């Protein structure tokens, strides 16, 4: 077996957005700023090995098997090689695995491109014999991740990540995410995300096609303005520990994302009847118990129930007794805010 010349291995989490990225400009720049937190358990592990070669070839194994995702990686490397010439001189052997099932309702492209971008920037340092500072390294990895999948740029940081130019955050930029250093109320560092599987079927519309629908959307400008306002207000609520306002804003963001899809041309209805039943049950549970719980939803039918760690046993009991019948095969998984990527 030939010895690989360069090698890197990273584990990177997925993330869940509270203010949603929806709509993009050329070169994967977001129409609006977004805010997310990294997950702890939902992670991708990727190993990249490079050997000098006359032209680039890519082999990709996902959980030990060849995978059609290889096409997306090939296209990605081909785009990145326009600016980063060194990518043309190697054969790539890439192996990847996830800690969560593919159809779990968790953004797998975020952790996948996060892990790949971290490996490639690690290898870049080896190939070019350069050492980046930690800040430079994370910023570059976030930029590279963004080029693969927009939301992936937020997976590079532990805790909360902000992507997109935002007043009041001088380091914020559309080109990469940044870690949010604001001191929030301590409860927000105990955020949990119970991912409730309503329907694991393939999506009617890919995220990329969904983003494109925003280009000519009649509510485009209003949506961009709303996301910036929601983000400012959300940060205020998180500093003040105003959980009521926090969940009002997070839920409205999720519903606004779906409202955009329902009113685009063509329009898409991605929610399942059980998605709405779950949402209604969460809202009723909040009203009856006074507990700080709420939901968010990505571009699909599954519901992310957000809560704070100190309410874990009550929330789990609620899921087990009231929601199981609405979930596909009773499937759900519990995750929480995490510490970001790890170099292996």
Interacting residues with ligand DP6 (CB under 6 A):
17, 20-21, 28, 34, 107, 109, 149-151, 207-208, 211, 257, 298-299
φ, ψ at 145 (rounded to 5°): -65, -40
Partnered with residue 161 across adjacent β-strands are 36, 179
Nearer Cβ to ligand DP6 (93/151):
151
Nearer Cβ to ligand DP6 (299/303):
299
**225, HSE (Cβ side, Cα atoms, 13 Å):** 4
Least distance CB 208 / ligand DP6 (angstroms) = 4
Peptide bond into 267 cis (omega under 30): no
Nearer Cβ to ligand DP6 (17/198):
17
Nearer Cβ to ligand DP6 (107/141):
107
φ, ψ at 128 (rounded to 5°): -90, 5
Q: How far is CA 77 from the centre of its chain?
A: 20
- On whether the CB atoms of residues 269 and 279 are closer than 8 A, the answer is no
Q: How far apart are CA 339 and CA 75, in angstroms?
A: 30
Nearer Cβ to ligand DP6 (91/275):
275
Least distance CB 14 / ligand DP6 (angstroms) = 9
Determine the residue with CB nearest ligand DP6.
150
Pairing between β-strand 24-25 and β-strand 29-30 as defined by DSSP bridges: antiparallel
Question: If we measure between CA atoms, which residue out of 116, 149, 95 comes closest to residue 298?
Answer: 149
Least distance CB 316 / ligand DP6 (angstroms) = 25
Least distance CB 5 / ligand DP6 (angstroms) = 30
Least distance CB 113 / ligand DP6 (angstroms) = 8
Least distance CB 88 / ligand DP6 (angstroms) = 24
Nearer Cβ to ligand DP6 (28/91):
28
Question: If we measure between CA atoms, which residue out of 291, 283, 277, 289 comes closest to residue 328?
Answer: 277
**First-last CA distance in the chain:** 22
Which residue is it, tokens 């990177």?
Answer: 12
Q: How far apart are CA 87 and CA 5, in angstroms?
A: 13
Least distance CB 120 / ligand DP6 (angstroms) = 17
φ, ψ at 302 (rounded to 5°): -80, 150
Nearer Cβ to ligand DP6 (29/58):
29
């Amino acid at each position: 077996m030939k010895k690989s010349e360069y090698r890197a291995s990273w584990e990177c989490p997925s993330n869940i957005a509270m203010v949603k990225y929806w709509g993009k400009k050329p070169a994967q720049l977001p129409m609006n700023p977004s805010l997310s937190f990294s997950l702890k358990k939902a992670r991708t592990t990727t190993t990249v090995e490079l050997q000098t070669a006359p032209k680039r070839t890519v082999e990709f194994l996902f959980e030990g098997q060849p995978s059609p995702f290889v096409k997306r990686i090939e296209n990605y490397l081909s785009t990145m090689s326009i600016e980063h010439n060194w990518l043309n001189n190697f054969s790539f052997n890439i192996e990847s695995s996830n800690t969560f099932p593919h159809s779990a309702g968790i953004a797998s492209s975020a952790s996948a491109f996060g892990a790949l971008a971290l490996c490639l920037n690690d290898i870049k340092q080896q190939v070019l014999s350069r050492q980046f500072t930690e800040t430079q390294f994370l910023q570059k990895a976030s930029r590279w991740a963004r080029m693969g999948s927009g939301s992936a740029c937020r997976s590079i940081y532990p805790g909360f990540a902000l992507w997109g130019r935002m007043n009041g955050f001088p380091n914020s930029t559309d080109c990469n995410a940044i870690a949010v250093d604001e001191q929030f109320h301590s409860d927000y560092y105990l955020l949990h995300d119970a991912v409730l599987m309503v329907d694991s079927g393939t999506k009617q519309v890919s995220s990329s096609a969904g983003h494109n629908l925003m280009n000519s959307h009649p509510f485009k400008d209003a949506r961009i303005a709303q996301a910036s306002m929601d983000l400012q207000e959300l940060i205020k609520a998180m500093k003040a520990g105003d959980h009521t306002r926090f969940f009002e804003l997070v839920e409205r963001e999720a519903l606004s994302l779906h409202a955009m899809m329902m009113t685009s041309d063509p329009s898409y209805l991605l929610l399942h009847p059980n998605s709405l039943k779950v949402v209604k049950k969460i809202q009723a549970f909040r009203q009856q118990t006074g507990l700080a719980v709420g939901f968010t939803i990505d571009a699909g039918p599954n519901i992310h129930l957000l809560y704070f760690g100190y309410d874990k046993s009550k929330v789990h009991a609620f899921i087990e007794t009231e929601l199981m019948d609405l979930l596909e095969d009773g499937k759900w998984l519990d995750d929480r805010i995490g510490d970001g990527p790890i170099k292996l």
